[in-house]
Amino acid sequence: MKKVVVGMSGGVDSSVAAYLLQKEGYEVIGLFMRNWDSTLNNDNLGNPNLNNDICPQEQDYNDAKKVCEELNIPLHRVDFIKEYWDNVFSYFLEELKKGRTPNPDLMCNKYIKFDVFIKEARKLGADYIATGHYARTYGNRLLRGIDQNKDQSYFLAQLTPNQLKDVLFPIGGLTKPEVRKIAEEINITTAHKKDSTGICFIGERHYQEFISNYLKPNPGDIVDVETKEVIGKHTGLMNYTIGQRRNVGISGNDKRHFVCGKDVEKNILYVCFGEDNEYLYSDACLIENVNFISPTTPTFCTAKFRYRGEDHAVAIEYLENDMAMVSYSGMAKAVTPGQACVLYLGEQCLGSGIIKEVYKNNEKLWYL
């Protein structure tokens, strides 16, 4: 009997994944990862985390434990707090300092869930590793999940073929409603548990308040990118992302305004007015840390510039130092430095790069 170690998150997706594997005849073992110290963690200034009562991590562990009891499978618990801090959270902070909008989920998958987790699973004798991601594999290929609203291949696009070896995605061929239905039919504890949203280590905390524990707020001017007039004050560039409309900090103006750029050196937040404003659009971007899961490196394919974003037809010019220039067929809106540019060929996820610079008409956008 083959042994599968399942990453149990305390949610319905990993619960159903474990059940389906058990039903298929595997010997299933649960493994819960504790990646964030919600009770003892101090920030890098030595200040305690005052919101530890909000973090749901312990409740997630209790739910995972209950599910494993219901399925009659063992559950192990492992701490990856140091690894998470070094490889995910520190990266997150450094990217914010650069004025970029990082995606910590990509780094968590790359360095935690499909690296140190796999090593820990091997210690438990795993023949296979499984997670509750909405994605699929076919041979050494990574495919989108069947459920277009839940597809998580985007977050797996910095993995290597070796990391995906012996990995199973039991719910990748199901929709979320189908997963919920299975959970209800077997009357499992997490059947009606609400999905977690947002950035995992922030949880239900107020984002700006949480970040201020680690990065000192640095207020500055909000400038109209077209008139160059100062029209407001921002609370710190790390609190905003490209394309953002709400909570920007402009009062007394009825026109819809959007964040369209940042100048870290001058501490300026640029905004434009109107959702179709030309300053929100680009036709190319430079990506770094280019990583391919596929053995082929295509010249033409499609790309997503953010999770749940639309697919754009692109042409790719490969450069030195794991960089590439990605040109779009038509304009794309709010392409954001720090986010992932994930490449697809139909259902197959080819790989990704991290957006470094954004261009229009062969010129780097001066305000971004």
Domain ranges of the chain: 3-185, 217-273, 279-364
pLDDT computed for residue 40 by the predictor:
43
Residues 257-278, mean pLDDT to the nearest whole number: 96
**Interval 8-18 mean pLDDT:** 97
In this structure, of 199-208, 221-230, 327-336, the range with the lowest mean pLDDT score is: 199-208
Tens of pLDDT along 309-330?
999 999 999 999 999 999 998 8
What's the confidence (pLDDT) of residue 292?
95
Helix (H) or strand (E) holding 349: strand 348-360
Instruction: Give the pLDDT score at 253.
Output: 62
pLDDT of residue 207: 81
Which pLDDT value is given to residue 54? 44
Hey, which residues does 270 pair with through a beta bridge?
223, 261
**pLDDT-derived band of residue 119, with 50, 70 and 90 as boundaries?**
very high
Predicted TM-score of the model (pTM)? 0.92
| Residue 57 confidence (pLDDT) | 78
Q: Regarding the domain with residue range 217-273, which homologous superfamily does it belong to in the CATH classification?
A: Adenine nucleotide alpha hydrolases-like domains (2.30.30.280)
Contact 207, 239 (CB under 8 A): yes
Q: Is residue 282's pLDDT more than 80? A: yes
Q: For the domain bounded by 279-364, which CATH number is listed?
A: 2.40.30.10
φ, ψ of residue 89 in degrees (nearest 5)? -70, -40
Give residue 210's pLDDT. 86
Taking residues 106-128, what's their average pLDDT?
Answer: 97
Distance from C-alpha of 32 to C-alpha of 30, rounded to nearest angstrom: 7
| 82-86 long-range contacts, CB within 8 A, separation 24+ | 83/35, 83/111, 83/112, 83/116, 84/35, 84/36, 84/108, 84/112, 84/201
- pLDDT over 70 (residue 51): no
Q: Six-digit token pair at 292?
A: 């391919």
Q: Which CATH class is domain 3-185?
A: alpha beta
- What mean pLDDT is predicted for residues 275-304? 95
pLDDT at 310 (0 to 100) = 94
Residues annotated as part of the active site: 108, 200
